[in-house]
Chains A and B, each alone.
Chain A
Amino acid sequence: AQSVTQLDSHVSVSEGTPVLLRCNYSSSYSPSLFWYVQHPNKGLQLLLKYTSAATLVKGINGFEAEFKKSETSFHLTKPSAHMSDAAEYFCVVSDRMAFSGTASKLTFGTGTRLQVTL
């Protein structure tokens, strides 16, 4: 069975300071890992994904995440927060399918609400 644990339900940072959203995962197989962002009244948007290539993954809007197998972690970071980053962030895991191509089911964490203050 696969699962993710988001270690903080709420994170508050000042604009211009670094962002760290923590995620640990559990997977029986070699996982694919993702971070999605959900702005109020908007759909989920993919920030970045790890699918067994480089362990340091760069995404949109300056976000990046590092896959650390020894720590079963996939923390999301950004050097400098912007007011527009305020949203709900979800860490997501997907086990590789036995055959490639079919979309694997996504298992979401409970989310981390990022607040950005002036």
Chain B
Amino acid sequence: DAGVTQSPTHLIKTRGQQVTLRCSPKSGHDTVSWYQQALGQGPQFIFQYYEEEERQRGNFPDRFSGHQFPNYSSELNVNALLLGDSALYLCASSIRSGATYNEQFFGPGTRLTVL
């Protein structure tokens, strides 16, 4: 089992550019959540996708958008990049079921640097 995978590992962009990050969930998982982890901080929830729709959203501007594909993989898009968008972007996958809580499994992250 490959676990959660993310690409690319590292990315360098300049202000104003657009970026797309990709995530493949753990086998059998159908829900993907994205988090932003700034240096020295805890991860912050961006949004969550299930059945190809955004189900929850954190306190992030509309410059942050996403997509989920029929195979459950997901993309995170950020437009008009700012220096403050530099961070580690984490993807987490889980499975929707009747259980009260379903563990979220995290990928290794994509390190985005905005110059």
Contact of B45 among A44, A96, A102, A106 (CB under 8 A): A106
Q: Which residues of A contact B103 (CB under 8 A)?
A: 46, 49
Are A103's CB and B43's CB within 8 A?
Answer: no
- List residues of chain B with CB within 8 A of the CB of A24: none
Residues of B within 8 A of A108 (CB): 35, 42-44
B2 close to chain A: CB less than 8 A: no
Can you list, as one digit per residue, whether each of B49-60 has a CB less than 8 Å from chain A (1) or not (0)?
Answer: 010000110100
**B79-106: which have CB < 8 Å to A?**
90, 92, 94, 96-104, 106
- Per the CB 8 Å criterion, the residue count for chain B at the interface is 31
Tell me whether B48 is interfacial, beta carbon within 8 Å: yes
**Residue A105 is within 8 A (CB to CB) of chain B in the complex:** yes
Instruction: Assess whether B42 is in contact with A110, with CB atoms less than 8 Å apart.
Output: yes
Which residues of chain B come closer than 8 Å to A105, judged between CB atoms? 33, 45, 48, 56, 58
